[in-house]
């Protein structure tokens, strides 16, 4: 039987009893419906995870016994930074979720010339909180013990400067493919556009900042397809796809 995993920002120390916050308590109580003595795994995104048991479940509180720390990691050796042109609704949600599953380390939502999403008043912090929840749940589901960083929404022109590693952006008109490139110091920065793609000015600015335009085959891909296909290709070429991790070896014993 699979043991549920839960992210918590709380400090975790073996042998301690902690109370879950309201959101996690509600999830344990009403969604997972865990009872006293049930097992659960907690992690706080700083590496490793904790095997725990439920000490108490009531309408007001959920208490957890932290029993054992496990030095477990499923992280790729490749550090991936994603500059993600903001797309509409479910497309953006899907891309953020799957990017976490595909091993991204940093995600920055980007405002571009052809971005159709507008943020007014409180919408920007609300949207960031929404995406942060998606990051957390994707990390829980995929077994990650290090939480990817979701950074503040930024203008593309500001973001493209001072990026590290191999810097590429997706362009269906490019002549270069990923197979012709190699990462620098096992770091890759990937820039992807919104539904309408990048403007000519944005392409020129990215090139001036050292980004290499690359294409993914001969077909035009939707923004969410292109982002995820590129991340998968990057992990195949230089990351951990096709390699057996320590976590997988342990699970086969």
- The model's pLDDT over 142-151, given as tens digits with 9 standing for 90+, comes to 999 999 999 9
Q: Is the pLDDT of residue 240 over 50?
A: yes
CA distances from 146 to 3, 87, 111, 208, 215 (A): 18, 26, 27, 33, 30
Give the integer Cα–Cα distance in Å for 123 and 86.
14
Half-sphere exposure of 233 (CA within 13 A, CB side): 19
Name the fold adopted by 5-70.
Answer: Ribosomal Protein L25; Chain P (2.40.240)
Left, alpha or beta for 229 (phi > 0: left; psi -120 to 50: alpha)? alpha
Judge contact between 62 and 86, C-beta under 8 A: no
The C-alpha angle 236, 239, 241, rounded to 5 degrees, equals: 50
Pairing of strands 17-19, 62-70: antiparallel
pLDDT at 253: 36
pLDDT at 123: 82
Q: Is the pLDDT of residue 124 over 70?
A: yes
Mean pLDDT of the region 138-166:
94
CATH 2.40.240.20 range(s) for the chain read 5-70
3 state SS of 146: strand
- Give pLDDT tens digits for 171-210: 988 999 999 999 989 999 999 998 888 999 999 999 999 9
Cβ density class 57-91: b for 16+ within 10 Å, e for less: beeeebbbbbeeeeebbebbebbbbbbbbbbeeeb
Would you place residue 141 in the very low, low, confident or very high pLDDT band (cuts 50, 70, 90)? Answer: very high
CATH number, domain 79-238: 3.40.1280.10
Mean pLDDT is lowest, of 88-92, 214-218, 228-232, 245-249, for 245-249
- Give pLDDT tens digits for 63-100: 999 999 999 999 999 999 999 999 988 999 999 999 99
CATH 3.40.1280.10 range(s) for the chain read 79-238
Give the integer Cα–Cα distance in Å for 211 and 133.
30
Q: Is the pLDDT of residue 242 over 80?
A: no
pLDDT at 118: 75
pLDDT at 250: 47
Mean pLDDT of the region 32-61:
94
pLDDT at 158: 95
Give the integer Cα–Cα distance in Å for 201 and 176.
20
Give the integer Cα–Cα distance in Å for 229 and 211.
18
């Amino acid at each position: 039987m699979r043991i549920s995993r839960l992210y918590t920002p709380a400090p975790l120390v073996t042998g301690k009893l902690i109370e879950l916050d309201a959101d996690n308590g509600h999830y344990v109580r009403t969604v997972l419906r865990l009872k006293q003595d049930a097992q659960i795994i907690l992690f706080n995104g700083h590496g490793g995870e904790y095997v725990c048991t439920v000490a108490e479940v009531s309408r007001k509180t959920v208490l957890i016994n932290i029993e054992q720390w496990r030095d477990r990691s499923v992280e790729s050796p490749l550090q991936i930074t994603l500059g993600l042109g903001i797309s509409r609704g479910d497309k953006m949600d899907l891309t953020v979720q799957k990017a976490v599953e595909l091993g991204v380390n940093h995600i920055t939502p980007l405002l571009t010339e052809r971005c159709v999403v507008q943020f007014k008043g409180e919408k920007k912090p609300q949207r960031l909180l929404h995406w942060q929840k998606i990051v957390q749940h994707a990390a829980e589901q995929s077994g990650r013990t290090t939480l990817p960083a979701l950074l503040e929404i930024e203008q593309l022109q500001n973001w493209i400067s001072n990026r590290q590693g191999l810097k590429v952006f997706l362009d269906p008109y490019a002549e270069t493919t990923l197979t012709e490139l190699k990462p620098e110091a096992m770091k890759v920065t990937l820039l992807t556009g919104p539904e309408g793609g990048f403007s000519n000015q944005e392409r020129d600015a990215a090139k001036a900042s050292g980004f290499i335009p690359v294409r993914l085959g001969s077909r035009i891909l939707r923004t969410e397809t292109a982002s995820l296909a590129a991340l998968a290709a990057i992990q195949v070429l230089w990351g951990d796809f096709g390699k057996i991790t320590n976590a997988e070896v342990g699970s086969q014993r």
